[in-house]
A and B are shown apart, each in its own frame.
Chain A
C-alpha cells in the first residue's frame, strides 16, 4: 500500500511568487492534515480536512495560505504571495475515519522543503 506522497520534494522560489504544494493521502483516508516546520521552530498544525470539507483551519497563519481538497482525494496548499518567513518543511498526513475518538493514527508524508529567497 502506498503511503502519503507529497510533491514537489523541494521548491525554491523568490519572495512574492506563488507556490502550490500537493499531497496525496493514503487511499481511503478521509482525514487529511497539513503541518509545517519553519526554521528553528516546532512542527505546527495548519489545518484538517474531512473529505473535501475543512474541519479545522485554526492553524493557518494568514490569508496568503489557501488549502483545497476538491473531490476529497488529494489536497493542495497554495502560498500566494510567498514571504521569506514561509520557508520551512510542509508535511501532510492522513488518517482513516472511524467516527471514534481519537480517530485513527495519522501517517505522514516525507514533506516538501520550501525555500523562499
Chain B
C-alpha cells in the first residue's frame, strides 16, 4: 500500500475553510484515497473517498491532483466539532492502513 504523509497538526479559525493536505506520491493507479477522522477517543469516522475525480459530499470535498500524487480534504466551514485527527489513507486491499494523521484544531 502506498504511504501517505500529512502535516502533524494544523489550526483553523471557526467558520473558515479547513484545507488538509496529503501526499501520496507512490500511489498506484487502482489505489483509492480515503479520509477518516477520529474525534477524541471515538471510533474513526468515514468522511470521503475518491480515485481520480474530485468528490464532494455533505461533510467535505476531496480534491485530487491530476497526477494523483497528492490530495486535499476541504471542510468548507469548520466548526469547533470538527476538531479531530484526520487520516488520509491509500486503500489497495480492504484493510485500512492508518498513519499518524493531522491533528486539526478549530479555534473559536
Query: Which A residues are closer than 8 A to B by beta carbons?
Result: 4, 31, 33, 35, 42-45, 48, 55-56, 59, 89, 91, 93, 95, 101-103, 105-111, 113
Contacts and interface: CB of A to CB of B under 8 A. Distances in A.
A109 B45 CA distance: 9
Interface of B: 30, 32, 41-46, 49, 91-100
Name the prevailing secondary structure of the B interface residues.
loop
Contact of A44 (B41, B46, B98): B98
A106 B46 contact: yes
A27 B30 CA distance: 29
B46 A42 contact: no
B41 A102 contact: no
A42 B99 contact: yes
Contacts of A106: 46, 96
Contacts of A113: 41
Contacts of B95: 33, 45, 48, 56, 59
Contact of A108 (B43, B49, B93, B99): B43
B85 to A, nearest CB: 10
B97 to A, nearest CB: 7
Name the prevailing secondary structure of the A interface residues.
strand
Contacts of A101: 30
Given A33-B94, A35-B96, A107-B46, 9 more contacts: A44-B98, A59-B95, A91-B43, A93-B43, A95-B94, A102-B49, A102-B94, A108-B44, A108-B46
16 contacts: A4-B43, A42-B99, A42-B100, A56-B93, A91-B43, A93-B44, A93-B96, A102-B49, A102-B92, A102-B94, A103-B94, A106-B46, A108-B43, A108-B45, A111-B41, A113-B41
A110 B94 contact: no
Nearest to B31: A102
